[in-house]
Amino acid sequence: MEGMVRKLSVSQVRLDADMLDEQHTPTTGRSGDKNDPLNWSTAAKIRTYATICLFSFIANVNGSNFTVAIVPLVKHFHVSATRATFLVGFNVLMFGLGNILWVPLMRVMGKRPVYLMALAVFVAANAWSTKATSWGSLLGGRMVAGFGAAAADATVPSVVGDMFSFEHRGHCMMFFHFALASGIFLGPLINAYIVQLHGWRWSCGFLAIAGGVIFIMAFFLIRETQFDRSASADAEDEKPRERTYREWLGVTLGYNRDKPMQRFLRTFWDILRMAVYPPVFWVGCLVGLFVGWTIVIQITASQRFLKPPYSWKLGSVGLFSISGWIGTVLSFFFGGKLIDIIVKRERRKNPAGILKPEKRLIALFIPALLAPVGLIVYGQCLSHNTTWVGPAFGYAMHSFGFTAVSNIAVTYAVDCYRDFDGEALVTIFVVRNVIAVVCSFYSNAWITTDGLEAVTGTMAGLQWALLAFALPFYFLSRRILNFTDSYGPQKRRLREAQAGALA
């Protein structure tokens, strides 16, 4: 019998692990512990998740705060428009790279202390930016602000996995992506009026104040979601006491005392190795292209609409971003609830309860039709100086696709590597933000050389090309996942599962 266990195939171990996820629902949780996030009351889950999503919203407002202030910054610091975009680009870069530190810290310290520390950094960096007197000081402040904001990004899907079952994960993840996209699209509106009425410094001052308010909310409302279900299962007969509200305010509940430094370094190493997993790298490139061109749309809009023949005021440019937000609202069902409906339907056909992450990719069909076309419409209309309705319509179409594609692709990656969801998301968001930075840095020169019409057409083609990779990931999913189980952190995870079977 022991010899047979040793011969368990990689694919069989993965299937066994997948079927275990069915046991992690709030109704049938493996633990009877009321402190298990899966067993929390709906109100407790909403308080925690809503506060984290609010942090995600303001973090993305922070990322877009200078997209509408390029012209005032050029005049104030006497720099080129390309150099002025560095304030956006390097902020976005740190927004991705910051999670290389935050996620390993999360694995050791828990999620609650990470959010509190990150918010403190975020507030301090924006206060610093408000008082910056030189270009270098302001650039440094924006980079540190991006680092603090990063904790509201790659850590969040792990929180969703802690609190919600597989069949509700896509819909719940959509709230995170809705908050993220709302920050990206409503951020320019908020910042445009602040810059127009009070100057660019107060766009940073507003963020410092908002971050301080969210810090207070986080201290009183965010519970620790990190929970060791294996330990709870071992002690199930003891019926652990439910924590009081005051106990939930502690910052050591998620601390892992089992070789913390080794765990930190191992998580850091796992993040680097996740980059060579094809599903993770593809999702990072796909989402990065959509994020990058969303930033380019915002920058080009602020430059084009402030000049003749439009000659808008800065606040009106901010109002233009509402069209992008409308696209986000319309995508809520198609990027969230729809993928859960598809998964539930598959579950009914599959009594064994084996998870098939690739089924979520079916929902990419609708945004794949709309988003690149929207980019072409935006470029064509703005190049020919049409009425603002045309570019706004194209912007809404692209934003619809951006939000839906992001949630579908990220949820797919999380489902592929549930034990390493935080690590996978760091890799995805680093790749995403590097691509976004490259787009923001070089878009001005490219558009100047080839024209917005040609550039948006090329980028629409690239988006379709990357979306087409969903086909092999769908039809060859099991082969690809079994292949990635043969190296990197997945190999270690399955080796541990085999050892557990032997025991």
**Which class in CATH covers the domain with range 36-227+261-502?**
mainly alpha
The pLDDT of residue 230: 63
pLDDT tens figures, 413-424 = 988 888 888 788
Single-letter code of the amino acid located at 120: A
pLDDT tens figures, 260-295 = 888 889 988 998 888 899 999 999 999 999 988 887
The pLDDT of residue 277: 94
Domain boundaries, the chain: 36-227+261-502
489 by DSSP, 3-state: which?
helix
pLDDT tens figures, 190-243 = 988 898 888 889 999 999 999 999 999 999 999 999 887 665 555 555 667 888
Torsion of CA 268, 159, 428, 178, to 10 degrees: -150
The pLDDT of residue 239: 66
- Cα separation values, 128 from 148, 196, 205, Å: 13, 21, 9
DSSP 72: H
Residues of the chain with pLDDT under 70: 1-32, 229-239, 335-336, 343, 347, 350-355, 500-503
Q: Which residues of 60-88 are buried (b: 16+ CB within 10 A; e: fewer)?
A: bbbbbbbbbbbbbbeeeeebeebebbbbb
* Backbone angles phi and psi of 35, in degrees to 5: -80, -10
Q: Judge contact between 90 and 437, C-beta under 8 A.
A: yes
The pLDDT of residue 234: 52
Single-letter code of the amino acid located at 382: L
The pLDDT of residue 5: 41
The pLDDT of residue 339: 73
Q: Which residues of 429-446 are buried (b: 16+ CB within 10 A; e: fewer)?
A: bbbbbbbbbebbbebbeb
Q: Judge contact between 360 and 337, C-beta under 8 A.
A: no
The pLDDT of residue 221: 94
Q: Cα–Cα distance between 427 and 488 in angstroms, integer?
A: 14
The pLDDT of residue 31: 60
pTM of the prediction?
A: 0.80
